[in-house]
């Protein structure tokens, strides 16, 4: 069984969580100046690395809160989780 550490509730079973896609994607601020291609990149283009991946998860069957996670896409191991709005842990978050 995979165990994920919710930043608020602590370690819980994977079944309590839902995946929310790639993390660390900032919404554009000057939207009126974006081209269709730039909007398309923001809305649709995501990284699919083999290895460490910055992701968003939600503790759906627990506190219901969203958080950031750093997960290895090969081993499924979570190496870090942290609250939205907080800086990533000292460990390096891969650049997109």
Chain residues binding Zn ion by CB under 5 A are 6, 8-9, 59, 62-63
Q: Phi, psi (5° rounding) for residue 53? A: -140, 130
Task: Pick the closer one to Zn ion by CB: 6 or 69.
Answer: 6
- C-beta separation of 88 from 82 below 8 A: yes
Taking the least distance from each CB to Zn ion, the nearer of 63 and 88 is 63
C-alpha closest to that of 71 among 26, 22, 10: 22
Residue 27 Cβ vs Zn ion, minimum distance, rounded to whole Å: 24
Shortest CB 15 distance to Zn ion, Å: 13
């Amino acid at each position: 069984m995979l165990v994920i550490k919710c930043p608020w509730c602590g370690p819980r079973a994977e079944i309590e969580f839902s995946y929310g896609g790639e993390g660390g994607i900032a919404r554009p601020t000057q939207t009126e100046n974006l081209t269709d291609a730039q909007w398309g990149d923001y809305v649709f283009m995501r990284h699919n690395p083999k290895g460490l991946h910055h992701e968003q998860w939600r503790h759906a069957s627990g506190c219901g809160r969203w958080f950031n996670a750093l997960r290895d896409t090969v081993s499924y191991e979570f190496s870090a989780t942290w609250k939205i709005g907080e800086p990533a842990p000292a460990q390096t978050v891969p650049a997109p």
